[in-house]
Structures are given as C-alpha cells and as structure tokens.
Amino acid sequence: MDRRRFITNVVTGIAGPFAGVACAGAHGGARPVPGYGPLRPVRDLRDGKARLHLPDGFKYRSFSVAGDKFSDGSTVPGRHDGMAAFAGPKDSAILIRNHEVNGPVGAFGDRDKAYDRMAGGGTSTLQVTRYGEVIKSAPSLNGTMMNCSGGPMVWRAWVSCEETVNGPDVAGDFSGGDNARLERGHGYIFEVPVGRAATARPIRSAGRFPHESAAFDPSSGAIYLTEDNYSFPSGFYRYLPPKHPVLAGRLLDGGRLQMLAVKGAERKNLSVGQAPGATYETRWVDIDDPDPAFKGRPSYDEAAQAVGRQGREEGAAVFARLEGAVHHQGTIYFVSTQGGATAPGDTAPDGFGNGRGQVWAYETWSGRLKLAYESPRSSVLDLPDNVTVSRRGTLVLCEDGDGDNYLRGLSKAGEIFDFCRLAPISGDEGAEFAGSTFGPGGHTLYVNIQAKQGMSIAIWGPWERGPF
C-alpha cells in the first residue's frame, strides 16, 4: 500500500465531535460503574507475589525488572514509564519503553551511542509474548534524561519525551544533581523506530521544555505535545513537521511549534474547575524561539518556562500539569493531572493546580476543546497521569495519587470504573502505574510499575465482559 493511501485509510471513519462522551463537572461527576466487578488480590505468575488487585478471571505476569539483564548482557535501568506496543512476529508484541532516570548518573548500554554519556534515561525495546514472557530485549535510546512518556507513531516508531530542561547551560536543577557534569542540553523529543536503535538526534524545532506525551494526528501529520511543569503553568502544543511523517517515513526536524489558546480569552485559565461539558473554540499561536539558547546559566525554573512563556505572552491557555495524551478517531484526549477544583473534604495537591484531575478532548478537525471528565473527588479519580485507549474507545488512566493507585477506565459514556489496584509496596509508597498500552489484537494490556525496583506487567483475561 502506498503511503498516501495509507494516510487516507487511517483517517477513514472518524467519529462525530466527541462522539458519545458524557462530561462531569467538579461537583457532579459521572456515577461510578461496576466495570469488570470487584477487585481481589491476584498472584504474579512470575514469582507468586500478589502485586495487583484485579477482577475475577484476570491474570498477569511481571517481567524485565530493574536490575535484570537485557539480551546483550547490559543492565535494565529503573524508573519504567511511558510505553507503546507494536505487532511482532507470531502474535508477539514489540514494546518500546521509557526510563525516567534523572541526573548525571551515566548512560546505560553502550555509552558510545549515547546522546549524552552522562545522562541515565532513555528507552528499551523488548519482544514479548502475549503472556509477558521476554523473547529478547535491548537498549534502544540512551543518554537522554527523564524520559517520561511519549507516543506511538503509525509508521512504527515511538516518540520519547524528556521531561526536563537540565543541561550544562542550566544552573539549577529539578532533582537532577550537578548539571555541570552533563555534556548536552535536554528537554527534547526523540524518535525511536521499531526494529532498530534510535539515531539519538533530538527534534529541536519541537521545543526545549519539560515534554510529557506525544500524540500523532494522521490527517494533518501534526504531533500534539503536552507539558508537565510541576510548580508553574503548563501548555498544550502541536508540532507541524516540514513534511507529513508518513510520507517522509520518519519525523523531520525543522517544523513549526505552536501553543493552544482559547478564542476571545487571552491566557484562559483552564486549570481551575470547569462547568460540566465546558467547550471552547481555540486558535494556535506560534512559538518564535522553540529552542532557546540560554545565556548566563539561568535557574531551572527560568529555563523550564522559556518556551511556555512565549506562548502565554501571545495569549496561550494555562493548564495544570499536562501529562498523558492519546489520539482516537480524530480527537486528542489529554490529561491535566492537577486540573479542576478542590472538592469538599479533599486537600489540594502540592504544586500548580488544586484539583484531582481533568481529561480534555481536542477535536483536531474542528479545533474545539471540550472537558471530557473532571474528578469530583480523589476517591473517584486521583491525579491521572499516562493514558491509553482500548479498541472500544474506553480510556485507561494510570493514577499517580497520594494513596492507593489504580488503573481506572473512562468509558465513552463518561462513566469511570476501577480496573486494577496496585498493592502497597513496603518502603516504596511512591510506586505508581505508568505506560499502559494494549498489545496487538487487544489480548494483553501491558503496563509498568514505576517504583524503586520498576517492572513491566502483562495482564490478560475476559475483556469482552466489560467496557475495554
């Protein structure tokens, strides 16, 4: 199939605007639904430990634990984060997985291939069975830093995002250690193709800021990007490459970076509580200097805001900690982790934003932005992070909350339900879910546990029984 026909086929059948999505406001909330039924502890088929609570009929196996060995003998790093699954041979899946390692701790794998030999983040690529058995594995991008999330691309590649602007040209740091020891600046996106190692060349025109996720719109060729600033406002961006990536066969540098604004409302604050179904007409403002050259080694906070401040000066909208993003039938769903109002009885989280989470829906072909869901209270949805979508259009939300962390589902009808709970890990109360992604055919949900000893997990069972 030629590439132009491929583009046409990918976008055929786009649903109507926000098809089927019901919305919830800060004090209302869609009613919780049973989903797949009550959760119970289930033992890991790898070692018998009960790490997850799941509905009846579901099983799982963990694999590729931090400290294990890749097939080439090098060591698997920790901080497993964003991930995507691609079809592999004989019903296997090819997983490309981020490692959100910060600081000048040295590159894993072959340092001669590293973008920055002192930086410890990057990606690994694994071929696994539908039941979480590793066939082979290897580093695929190294020498990057704080690789948080990213997004799968239809030309069989993963775009990995650095959630930092640390570098030798930045004086302060965000938990990164001594920046002077780093060799290169960070804060970029990198393409990691399936089947071979990445070139470790950043897409500089897509900006230097704390990137979180990337979602590809096959109709326009645009890459939609989220920004996760912990202590100050974040923005929603799009990168317009110089040539449609499907036609080019890869993501090219040299394009244009833009930031979303609300028509008729300069610097609209969307981080606060919204009315149910709140909808906005939008426009895009250009970022004139997406890759600023820092002079005088500014503080981390100054450097991290250098790109976003340009957009806000032109009227771009304000969000609270934008994290996961996914494309589905012409709509980009993206998560504002601390967006919304503080519900009665809840406490506001630390950092910028007082809510417990919003899910936004941006319609790529009309330019409308709509609130798909706002957490009414932390017990329903608590600080959502990574997001993926099932074949039925149900969103899977990974929590990064203050208490127990869940995988929660958000149906197209706006109904939220619990699917999986992470059992407490003694001495590692900060453990969380990350990187959920369905494998080929939807048989397996792969997900990561980001913990002191991170790992990946394969979950399978009677999906047909519920909304996934």
Q: Which residues does residue 139 pair with via DSSP β-bridges, in sequence order?
A: 124
Give pLDDT, residue 3: 43
Q: How confident is the model at residue 5 (pLDDT cuts 50, 70, 90)?
A: very low
What digits encode the pLDDT tens for the residues 362-419?
999 999 999 999 999 999 999 999 999 999 999 999 999 888 899 999 998 899 999 9
Report which of 219, 215, 269 is spatially closest to residue 237, judged by C-alpha positions.
Answer: 215
Which whole-number Å values give the CA distances from 277 to 224, 273, 371, 411, 452, in the listed order?
Answer: 22, 12, 5, 15, 39
What digits encode the pLDDT tens for the residues 333-374?
999 999 999 988 888 999 999 999 999 999 999 999 999 999
Which residues are CB-neighbours of 55 under 8 A, at least 6 positions away? 35, 36, 37, 38, 39, 40, 419, 461, 466
Q: What are phi and psi of 315, to 5 degrees?
A: 105, 10
Which residues are CB-neighbours of 372 under 8 A, at least 6 positions away? 18, 21, 23, 333, 359, 360, 361, 410, 414
- What is the pTM for the complete model shown? 0.94
What digits encode the pLDDT tens for the residues 195-254?
888 999 999 999 999 999 999 999 999 999 999 999 999 999 999 999 999 999 999 999
Whether the Cβ atoms of residue 382 and residue 399 lie closer than 8 Å to each other: yes
355-383 CB burial, b ≥16 within 10 A, e <16: bbbbbbbbbbeeebbbbbbbbbbbebbbb
Report which of 20, 34, 160, 129 is spatially closest to residue 467, judged by C-alpha positions.
Answer: 34
Q: What value does the CA radius of gyration of the chain take, rounded to a whole number of Å? A: 20
Whether the Cβ atoms of residue 371 and residue 287 lie closer than 8 Å to each other: no
Looking at residue 361, the DSSP 8-state letter turns out to be: E
Q: What are phi and psi of 7, to 5 degrees?
A: -60, -45
